[in-house]
């Protein structure tokens, strides 16, 4: 009989309340992260090569996330003792000090978050959850065990979501290096005929049609 599929959180949901043990002590998530953006990411296992490259890559961008008021939190179903030893190994052998906490999850937590997939073995997949300061899930990414993540894309996504919220705009593909409009942003489409007729006058330097207008970011 095939194992029941996990009930994964959805975009826009409140992040599930988790009482967890981490390498930085007990945490309540998302309660302890309120007021900050956060990236919670799971990895299959400690002391594995792809995961090690990912942790180094996240740490190398720690200041980038910090400047975006965004906290990093790692997670796997390894025990906290394993996390601590792996932290030490990375520092001693690779010269990188991991500054973010790592959650010692159990199967219940991992399954609740959709990190255990029935056909992917007993380890957690490479999940990424981006949460906003109110604890709402804004972005979800799932990678298979054999594919490491692109951390620059995660930094870009957090920055783009923040700008979208602040300016009420949408972000084009590959922003800020879009093939059509470069680093400009997209105006939400009109919802009535009167607004549609005014669009060309409102955005003379960023007008393709009433449903596709763009502008520069506000200073």
Contacts for 215 with CB less than 8 Å, ≥ 6 apart: 169, 184, 185, 187, 203, 206
Q: Write down the catalytic residue from 51, 70, 193, 213.
A: 51
d(CA 112, CA 121): 16
Buried b / exposed e across 54-67, counting CB within 10 Å, b at 16+?
bbebbbeebebbee
51 has catalytic annotation: yes
CB 113 within 8 A of CB 20: no
CB 204 within 8 A of CB 198: no
CB 11 within 8 A of CB 141: no
Catalytic (active-site) positions = 51
């Amino acid at each position: 009989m095939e194992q029941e599929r996990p009930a994964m959180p959805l975009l826009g949901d409140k992040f599930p309340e988790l009482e967890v043990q981490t390498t930085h002590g007990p945490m309540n998530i998302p309660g302890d992260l309120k007021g900050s953006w956060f990236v919670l990411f799971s990895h299959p296992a400690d002391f594995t090569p792809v995961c090690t490259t990912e942790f180094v890559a996240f740490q190398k961008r720690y200041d980038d996330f910090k400047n975006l008021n965004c906290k990093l939190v790692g997670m796997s179903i390894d025990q906290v003792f394993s996390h601590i030893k792996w932290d030490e190994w990375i520092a001693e052998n690779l010269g990188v000090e991991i500054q973010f906490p790592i959650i010692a999850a159990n199967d219940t937590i991992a399954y609740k978050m959709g990190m255990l997939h029935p056909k992917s073995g007993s380890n957690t997949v490479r999940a990424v959850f981006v949460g906003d300061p109110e604890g709402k899930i804004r972005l979800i990414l799932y990678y298979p065990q054999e594919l490491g993540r692109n951390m620059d894309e995660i930094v870009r996504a957090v920055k783009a979501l923040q700008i979208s919220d602040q300016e009420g705009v949408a972000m084009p593909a590959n922003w800020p290096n879009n093939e059509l409009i470069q680093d400009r942003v997209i105006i939400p489409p009109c919802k009535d005929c009167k607004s549609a007729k005014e669009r060309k006058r409102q955005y003379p330097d960023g007008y393709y049609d009433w449903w596709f207008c763009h502008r520069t970011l506000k200073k």
